[in-house]
Structure 1
């Protein structure tokens, strides 16, 4: 039971630990995905400034050289850009994807102009200054500014009075921009759109922070924008084109958090539902199996713990318990063992009931015969129609007493067998010298004139007394039952030999006869209650309790009994008891091996 309890605790403990770890890992995974999603969204909104910030954080040094993880180099390729890192001396110490026309070193003036104009030649640049390993680095992320170059070209060649487009320029750009789906806005200093050329006219005015947002967080707007300022008129030229990847819808951060939590909750619910179904199926089937067995047991079907169908579910063809039932292996084995015991008990009960019925039939006959004799003599004496002599009356009295004694012995046997069965027999143990005790019992049979047709012999160990702890009254009853059984079931002329001796620390009693012997069935049932043998030709007085009582007394005295018999050759019954030393015995004496050999043959 301890193994089952430990297995259940470990099984369910590890199971719930596994489920908890699974939910924790899944939660962390979802959380990381959410963080990654938010980071990607932030990177897209603030691109290319967000990309540059990540490049500053991800740069590493290995063996004296700077490098970026491959994933960030792929991001630069996707943006169709390039990257340079300049040290405090103005030298480029790292570059990726740089065009051939770029320098490998810059003067302080060149770096300052780059920072002020955010341009390097025809490229639009984004810059950041950071300290890496006590060394200052200047990061330059360059992107191809095709839209800016087009705006500059238009401003130089098509701009008319007051920084606006003339009629001819409007028509020309209208056709070009209309075909490409682009829109050109010329905005005044107050944010009002003065001229609009190309596709959708868009907004009529820009708010003060809108242009800054287009510059700093271009990913937050549905269109890609290029901007140029006319230094003479102060107008701002804005070229907008639709993103190829689709428009972006600005969403609040809280919305993303709520969406992530909803996805996490749905995932946990689905996992919990799946686990509950699996858990119910895994542990519900064994319970249904046990309930079915209990129902069959309630109906009195003890011979099978599992039906044939259940056995196919529980065991493999090889006989091993399936994995889903392995947790309850001891319980299933216990059920099968209980079923086998209950079935054996039921069979034993049926057999005992049959034996009891046979015994009742026999005992009714045994009681009816002496009662009929007593009743007959009673009627004769009661009738008064006869005159009886003293001798006749004495014979009648002797017969009535003998039959009464016989019936009384039967009743005593019933009571004695009941006490032995319920272990309520009081035993007054005392040291008994086995040789003298057994010799006196045998002597009574030798002096019994009614047993002159039988011969009785006693063989003992006079030089080495053997002592046992026994109740003389019940020990005598045990020997009487065994010797009487040999007398009752053997023909006249049989020799009954009783021996005593010692074997090591055991005291031995052997009762042997050279009579009829017993067959295997009789030997097997010899000590069963109510059994009176299978020979229908011999007289079977008694209740069939004598040998059962004898064995019960042997066991009550902590002994054992063995029977050896061959049909036609005789029977030998060997009793073994733990020996003790009497007060008058020399404890240093060794047992005589010759007598031991005789008793153990």
Structure 2
């Protein structure tokens, strides 16, 4: 669990650091976007004055060449404006959308005309001086003020020395109707003394109204042009609506407050989202663990996870999903614990069942020879019969065989106990394999009780030696060969063969008997397993194959079995190469 503790500390530390860095980056990004938005809105309010100020600030001059940001080129072209940057010698060192009619070099009179009249040729111009360099530079923005030209045309057409006749007024109304405009004539106090065109709610102009509309046109819904009439000292004001152009009524402070409000709402949403996400992410596994514990409390060890829960935790390829990976050790520990508990319960039930069957079988196996011995004992004790020498010898042989059988059962119990508790110690010596197996096979060949079976030994064609305990090695082979005898009918052939390969030595015990099914093969080496045949030849404690396998293990060997019903069985004792 140390790795889990380290990973939890690392996980939450990284999560906190990442979250903090992310929030800081987002804050700065949002502030930057907010400031950028406010700057853009300020430019729109003060267009073209704001544009000229920003271009002056952002433009750099190197080697008498002006480097202008490309974004201004698009904005100026959109408004049909041009820009020229003029150095102290009057030379144009940078321009955007500059008409061909404009000069490449300006004289002193040209510069003075621009400054005094705000006009150059047919263009209305604005100029700003940049003195950040060794020599001052002048930035000039120019555009055709259609609104101003239209107003001057109206004054020239419909005004006679500052007055408008009745006939001219009707014509003026028609003209204003065509352009959807409004015309106001105000006196020196700002009072409207004449109005034509679309009606407006305005009754009077404050001293700074007109200047504000010219300096910050972006905050108004109309385009404004003014003309001072020299004959009457009155001012003509022409208003025309903007074409599909947004105008901004909010102040900078209001936009700033709205911006911070949106940022605050965004972070509130992020905080709530992270809270719900963390609660869901770290709470869901805990609910899952709780359901596991409830199932284990009820003894459902075989169902660690339901099908629905497995789909939640594991991918199709069997790997744990990312949001559960933090609890990988816990999930694996639950699985291991459930498997052990389930295996323990199943093993206990299976062992109990096997023990009951074994007790029944052993009772029968012991009762049968004891009954025989007891019966012969009663007959001999009664004195009612006179036995011939041959009959007495036959009785003695039967009593001896039954006694040996019972002794063999007891020895098997003792040996199984020793093997289970690792109390059997081998006295290994170097033995030649062919000689050892030939002697074991010969014992079965010359056994008169096994004359109905056929035994063959196929030696290896070279001398091979192994380290083994002769007594227990022979016991292992006896058990394996005898198992092939007692489970097969008369006439079965048992072949013992030796082979040598790169991975070690193999001893094969092959028979052509009835074979085994899968269930029998799985339980073949389990203690107390006695098979399904009820023939008397099957008598025994059910420990022979288990003992054989454990003796093989003590000799660093592996026992494998292959069998097919109706075709026989092959037992492979594989001694691994040192």
TM-score > 0.5, shorter chain as reference: yes
CA RMSD of aligned residues (A): 7.1
Q: Does the 8 Å CA contact 1:184/1:237 hold for their aligned counterparts?
A: yes
Tell me: CA distance 1:340–1:34, structure 2 relative to 1, closer, same or farther (3 Å).
Answer: same
1:394 and 1:232 mapped to 2: Cα distance? 166
Between the aligned partners of 1:197 and 1:142, the Cα distance in structure 2 is 32
Alpha-carbon distance between aligned partners in 1 of 2:403 and 2:352, rounded to the nearest angstrom: 28
Alignment of 1:87-486 (within 5 A): 87-90=87-90, 106-120=106-120, 123-130=123-130, 136-143=136-143, 144=145, 145-146=148-149, 149=152, 157-159=160-162, 176=172, 180-187=181-188, 192-193=189-190, 196-198=193-195, 200=200, 202=202, 204=204, 206-207=206-207, 212-220=211-219, 224-227=223-226, 237=235, 239=237, 241=239, 243-244=241-242, 250-264=249-263, 266=265, 321=317, 358-372=357-371, 406-420=405-419, 422-431=420-429, 468-470=467-469, 474-475=472-473, 477-478=475-476, 481=479
Structure 2 counterpart SS, 1:51 = helix
Query: How far 1:216 moved relative to its partner?
Result: 3.6
Which residue of structure 1 aligns with residue 537 of structure 2? Answer: 539
Measured in 1, the distance between the counterparts of 2:471 and 2:132 equals 108
CA contact (8 A) 1:221 1:248 kept: yes
Give the conservation status (yes or no) of the 8 Å contact 1:468–1:577.
no
- The question of whether the paired residues in 2 share the 8 Å contact of 1:445 and 1:451 is answered with no
CA contact (8 A) 2:409 2:541 kept: yes
Normalized against structure 2, the TM-score is what?
Answer: 0.62
Contact 1:457 1:498 in 2 (8 A): yes
436-445 or 404-413, which deviates more:
436-445
In the aligned structure 1, how far is the partner of 2:441 from the partner of 2:121? Answer: 140
Between 1:248-257 and 1:559-568, the stretch displaced more is: 559-568
Structure-2 change in CA distance of 1:227 and 1:450 (3 Å): closer
CA contact (8 A) 1:467 1:507 kept: no
Cα distance between partner residues in 1 of 2:471 and 2:32: 91
Asked if 1:38 corresponds to 2:33, the answer is no
Matching residue of 1:50:
50
Gap change, CA 1:484 and 1:250, over 3 Å in 2: closer
Deviation at 1:450, TM superposition (A): 9.6
TM-score w.r.t. the length of structure 1 is 0.60
Q: Please give the alpha-carbon distance, in whole angstroms, between the structure 2 residues aligned to 1:507 and 1:249.
A: 95
Conservation of the 8 A alpha-carbon contact between 1:81 and 1:141: yes
1:56 CA displacement: 3.6
Contact 2:488 2:513 in 1 (8 A): no
User: Which residue of structure 2 aligns with residue 598 of structure 1?
Assistant: none
Alpha-carbon separation, structure 2, partners of 1:65 and 1:526: 96
Q: Does 1:552 align with 2:555?
A: no
**1:183 and 1:248, CA in 2 relative to 1: closer, same or farther beyond 3 A?**
farther
Q: Deviations over 1:32-73 (max 9, x none)?
A: 553443123211222221122234456688999768666534
SS in 2 for 1:88: coil
| Alignment gaps of 5+ in structure 2 | none
Question: How many residues align structurally?
Answer: 550
| Residue in structure 1 matching 2:514, options 512, 519, 530 | 519
CA shift for structure 1 position 417: 2.3
Unaligned runs of 5+ in 1: 160-164, 581-601
Instruction: After superposing the two structures, state which structure 1 stretch, 395-404 or 75-84, moved more.
Output: 395-404
What whole-Å deviation, never above 9, does each CA across 1:140-188 have from its counterpart, x for those lacking one?
A: 33342337736986999535xxxxx7xx77997799479642222222x
Secondary structure (helix, strand or coil) at the match of 2:537 reads coil
Bigger mean CA deviation after superposition, 11-20 or 82-91: 11-20
CA distance in 2 between counterparts of 1:100 and 1:566 reads 102
**SS in structure 2 opposite 1:519?**
coil
Distance 1:336 1:256, change over 3 A: same
User: Contact conserved, 1:434 with 1:468, CA < 8 A, in 2?
Assistant: no
Q: Deviations over 1:529-573 (max 9, x none)?
A: 445566655533322322331232122122355789999999998
